[in-house]
A and B are shown apart, each in its own frame.
Chain A
Amino acid sequence: MRRLFYILFLSVFFSVNICASTPTEEGEKINVKEIIFDHIGDSYEWHITSVNGKHISIPLPIILFSEQSGFHMFMFSVFHHEESFKGFRIGEKDGKYAGKIVEVNAQGEEVRPWDFSLTKNALALIINCLLLVFIVLWVAKWYKKKPMEAPKGFRGVMEMLIMSVHDDIIKPCVGKDYKKYAPYLLTAFFFIFFNNIMGLIPIFPGGANTTGNIAVTIVLGLCTFFAVNIFGTKEYWKEILWPEVPTWMKAPIPLMPVIELFGIFTKPFALIIRLFANIMAGHSIVLGLTCLVFITAQMGEVVNGSMTVVSVLFSIFMNCLELLVAYIQAYVFTMLSSVFIGLSRVESHH
């Protein structure tokens, strides 16, 4: 512990020395908020890095369906040279559709066409999905080839993860019908987990803020919502519409039924917001800490040097924490979904 402290102290000290010897450059003021929002939002191209002010990014296809001009498909890179293409352009910075592709209609107003572009998040989702499918099928294939044998290495880790979710979350929370729901819940767990982990890797196939995007979590939440309500038992609906409370709470004014009905929607809503907010916040904090290096660049060498060390240390800590969060959020989502499904499978206690 003492040695670790010395190493820390010395690294701060030396970084200060090194920085003091380098000449300062007057850089442009950086906008941390913009950097963070750029990252946690979506974009039409996958920005990898910038070298000497030149952006290196993967151009992605734009797929649009306009009510005026029909179906269009082109690469986003056309906007590098031209302001508008086929009547489409990027929305004004201060407008309603900032950064999105818009079309100008006859009245001269900006309108958004149906935008099915394969954006950064969409591509990241597809890559992560392919990876997940590949890994799971690879493990499954091994099981088919060698039944009755215990897997080793990465397959062993997968088995441990899969069986821990299956036996410790799904089985006890869902109850006796767990076999019917296990595929969905396992898919949800690993989908979230893989996307969370991939989001933490800072370079190309990773780094996209997929599970921190509300559209992604909404789909996951809705899946749970349908799984709960479509297969709900009679007893489940009875407990919502005519719960066992004193009659005055449900007879003239349906107080409890209203609360219960409201609960049907708040449960998946909580799932959606929890996952979205946790992952988005995690990404924001890591980015904010990394930006500390660039913010302090203008404050002089000593501050910058020492803050770089601090920033790196904090970033490492936050990334470790985010690894934990990646698992915990997948776990929480799956467990709560299992519990809600389990509650919807109640049987009459009488």
Chain B
Amino acid sequence: MSLLMPETGLLFWMLLAFGIVFLILAKFGWPVITGMVEKRTSFINESVKSAEEANKQLENIKIETAAIIAKAHEEEVKILKEAAEMRKQIIQDAKNAASEEAKKIVEATKEQIVAEKERALNEVKDQIAEISIQIAEKVVRDDLKNDKKQAEMIERLLNEIKTSH
């Protein structure tokens, strides 16, 4: 059974060949390859994880953005409402002021009218009085053309003065 008997020479060559192959590959072959593959694996895992995180952050940012936009909308509506109110207020105020001014003017005008009326009345009164005096003078002058009536008049006037004292 020469098949089952190992040959010394082949044992020697095998030991030599396998030993050298092992030394070379253990130093320059396997560790390089497995190390690189493992590094790559961990790199890919980390990349996936960080991408996931980035996605999550993006989602958060999106939510935040939406919230900010919604808030801005609210603010806008509020501001518009306020502006509208303010406009109304201003118009109202202007109206009020205008009506007051108008009232004032009307009143002043009324007063002026009243004053003017009085003045006119007074003038009319004065004129009436003057005219009536003139009339009275004329009447009196006609009456007093005779002396008797003059004396009578003086006497009556004196009486009047005495009684009034």
Binding site for B on A (CB under 8 A): 37, 40-42, 63, 98, 114-119, 121-122, 125-126, 129, 132-133, 136-137, 139-140, 143-144, 147-150, 158-159, 162-163, 166, 182-184, 186-187, 190-191, 213-216, 218-220, 223, 280
Contacts and interface: CB of A to CB of B under 8 A. Distances in A.
Interface of B: 2-15, 17-18, 20-22, 24-26, 28-34, 36-37, 39-40, 43
15 contacts: A40-B3, A115-B7, A118-B13, A133-B29, A137-B28, A144-B32, A148-B43, A159-B33, A159-B37, A162-B30, A183-B25, A186-B29, A186-B34, A215-B7, A216-B10
Nearest to A158: B33
B31 to A, nearest CB: 7
A162 B34 contact: yes
A279 B13 CA distance: 20
B130 to A, nearest CB: 127
A147 B30 CA distance: 15
A257 B13 CA distance: 36
B7 A133 contact: no
Contacts of B31: 183
Best-surrounded residue of B7, B10, B15, B26 (most CB of chain A within 10 A) = B10
Contact of A215 (B11, B20, B28, B40): B11
Contacts of A119: 7, 9-10, 13
A136 B29 contact: yes
Contacts of B8: 114-116
A130 to B, nearest CB: 9
A108 to B, nearest CB: 23
Given A136-B25, A140-B28, A166-B34, 6 more contacts: A42-B10, A114-B8, A116-B9, A149-B40, A215-B10, A219-B11
Nearest to A62: B9
Q: Dominant SS at the A interface?
A: helix
A219 B18 contact: yes
A171 B13 CA distance: 31
A132 B26 contact: no
Contacts of B39: 147-148
Nearest to B15: A219
Contacts of B11: 215, 218-219
Closest 6 CB pairs of A and B: A183-B26, A122-B13, A215-B6, A215-B10, A140-B32, A136-B29
A304 B94 CA distance: 125
Contacts of B3: 37, 40-41, 214, 280
B40 A150 contact: yes
A215 B17 CA distance: 13
A273 to B, nearest CB: 9
A163 B2 contact: no
A66 to B, nearest CB: 13
Given A147-B40, A184-B22, A163 B34 contact: yes
A132 B125 CA distance: 146
A126 B13 contact: yes
Contacts of B30: 136, 162, 166, 182-183, 186-187
B163 to A, nearest CB: 142
Contacts of A40: 3
Contact of A117 (B4, B9, B28, B32): B9
B13 A133 contact: no
A192 to B, nearest CB: 10
Contact of B18 (A41, A182, A220): A220
Given A115-B8, A182-B30, A215-B11, A125 B25 contact: no
Contacts of B14: 122, 125, 215-216, 219
A140 B9 contact: no
Contacts of B6: 214-215, 218
A214 B4 CA distance: 6
